[in-house]
A and B are shown apart, each in its own frame.
Chain A
């Protein structure tokens, strides 16, 4: 099977680890507000990580599993 180069990327965690982007979900401001509230209702903080695009614009991502768990508990 021929595999395309660069068909996936690694993203950095705040702890200096580089993981596949398949485990991450980039959140916009509205989504961030919602999921921070859902997490706080469970008495915890959302595990947020910070990145930036090549052009320098910043983004915030969270682990997809964390987001899915918060959604599934609703």
Chain B
């Protein structure tokens, strides 16, 4: 099953630090608004995947004040989501750059130490970041995907997703 929503923004509205020129709002907060919108449209589901191009991932990383060697988003491999192949490539590299596979989602509740936590039973996981350079600047897709057979909200069959790989990331 796939649920997909497309969101639009204007990259030129943001400065080099990923903050909105008009009011200083970081792009990561705009993304949280998109996640809330997604959930309000599909109340039983939370967005699990962000698809965007390199420029948008860079904008996101700057807005998160990320360390310079952290690279937000994993590449699609032959147009498919394949975290294990990404991980093998990362392991084989010199390890100077670090792939950020996901970021805290807008819905992760805080534990007693104030740290966002995963709620597996509600399908609240980090937002997985996927780079798709076929997506133009100023556009991103939020998706919920699972590998269970269900006709509910079956909008489009995914064309660039290896469904067998959907659960290959273990968040801990």
Contact = CB atoms under 8 A, between A and B. Distances in A.
B122 interface: no
Interface in A1-43: 3, 5-12, 15-20, 22-23
Given A10-B169, A23-B95, A17 B115 contact: no
B102 interface: yes
Contacts of B98: 19-20, 23, 63
Contact of B99 (A5, A15, A19, A50): A19
A15 B170 contact: no
Contact of B103 (A6, A17, A23, A58): A17
B136 interface: no
A54 interface: yes
A20 B87 contact: yes
A53 B168 CA distance: 19
B135 interface: no
A16 B113 contact: no
A65 B116 CA distance: 25
B84 A3 contact: yes
B104 A10 contact: no
A10 B171 contact: yes
B171 A9 contact: yes
A66 to B, nearest CB: 11
Given A7-B84, A12-B104, A19 B170 contact: no
Interface string B70-104: 10100000000000100100110001101111111
A17 B66 contact: yes
A16 B116 contact: yes
Given A3-B84, A10-B126, A65-B95, A17 B100 contact: yes
Given A6-B168, A22-B91, A50 B102 contact: no
A65 B93 CA distance: 13
A17 B100 CA distance: 6
A18 B167 contact: no
22 contacts: A5-B168, A8-B87, A10-B101, A10-B170, A10-B171, A12-B104, A12-B126, A12-B171, A15-B66, A16-B103, A16-B104, A17-B100, A17-B103, A18-B101, A19-B70, A19-B100, A20-B99, A20-B101, A50-B113, A53-B172, A54-B172, A65-B96
